[in-house]
């Protein structure tokens, strides 16, 4: 198996985002046990995704907490 090609296929992203089918998830998990570079690639993608989210986060509008709390009462 060409593991670099598998990494470029988008399967890591699909797995991390919960878009992979059950069969794809099972296959990926088996392959991770055999190819440590898949676990590294998954970790790298998750790190990059979190970094992107932190850079692009938007704080909620002022007073949002109070509006939510009022609706819950």
pLDDT tens for each residue of 39-57: 999 999 999 999 999 999 9
Tens-binned pLDDT, residue by residue, of the chain (73 aa): 899 999 999 999 999 999 999 999 999 999 999 999 999 999 999 999 999 999 999 999 999 999 999 999 8
CB count in 10 Å sphere of residue 46: 13
Q: Could you list the residue range(s) of the whole structural domain that residue 19 is in?
A: 3-72
The pair of structure tokens assigned to 50 is: 């979190």
What was the pLDDT predicted at 1?
A: 84
Q: In the chain, how many domains are there?
A: 1
CA dihedral 35, 40, 46, 52 (to 10 degrees): -140
**CA separation for the pair 32, 42 (Å, rounded):** 9
């Amino acid at each position: 198996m060409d593991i670099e090609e598998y990494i470029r296929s988008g399967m890591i992203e699909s797995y991390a985002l919960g878009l992979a089918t059950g069969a794809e998830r099972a296959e990926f998990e088996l392959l991770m046990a055999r190819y440590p570079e898949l676990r590294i690639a998954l970790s790298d993608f998750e790190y990059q995704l979190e970094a992107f989210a932190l850079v692009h986060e938007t704080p909620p509008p002022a007073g949002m907490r109070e509006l939510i709390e009022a609706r819950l009462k």
